């Protein structure tokens, strides 16, 4: 079945460091891909999305590019802030499907 695999956490970085959180997926057809973020004590929020190959989603300084050849959607940010500390979830949905499939989540902690 369809699945999403994220890099193991937790990830701890210093402020202003470069961030990459890896995400790969397994799915037939052409899924849409998402990154959701969960700040402490809150529900998930959509961070960015991409709906077709080579699309780049971006928001709040984060970017991710839909790479069909490597079935990947890695999340990147050039300079992280303490306020970026959260749990990040990669997810996919297939065309016409009703369900999001989530990865296991990656906890990110940024130290000042």
Number of residues that bind another protein (CB under 8 A): 20
Give strand ranges (E) for 1-84: 3-6, 11-14, 19-21, 23-26, 32-38, 44-50, 56-59, 62-65, 75-77
Tokens 């079945």, residue located: 1
* Binding of another protein by 32 (CB under 8 A): yes
Spatial separation of the C-alpha atoms in residues 14 and 1, rounded to whole Å = 37
Only one of the segments 12-20, 56-64, 68-76, 95-103 lies at the binding site for another protein (rule: CB under 8 A); that segment is 95-103
Per CB under 8 A, the list member of 49, 77, 108, 110 interacting with another protein is 49
Q: CB of 45: closest distance to another protein in angstroms?
A: 7
Handedness of CA 18, 103, 37, 53 (dihedral sign): positive
Does position 10 interact with another protein (CB under 8 A)? The reply is no
Which residues of the shown chain bind another protein in the complex (CB under 8 A)? 4, 32, 34, 41-46, 49, 89, 93, 97-100, 102-105
């Amino acid at each position: 079945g369809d699945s999403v695999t994220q890099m193991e956490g937790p990830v701890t970085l210093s402020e202003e460091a470069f961030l990459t959180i890896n995400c790969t997926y397994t799915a037939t057809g052409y899924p849409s891909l998402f990154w959701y973020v969960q700040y402490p004590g809150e529900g998930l929020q959509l961070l960015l999305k991409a709906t077709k190959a080579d699309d780049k989603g971006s928001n709040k300084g984060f970017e991710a590019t839909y790479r069909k050849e490597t079935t990947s959607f890695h999340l990147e940010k050039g300079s992280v802030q303490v306020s970026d500390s959260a749990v990040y979830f990669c997810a996919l949905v297939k065309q016409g499907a009703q369900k999001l499939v989530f990865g296991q989540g990656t906890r990110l902690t940024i130290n000042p």
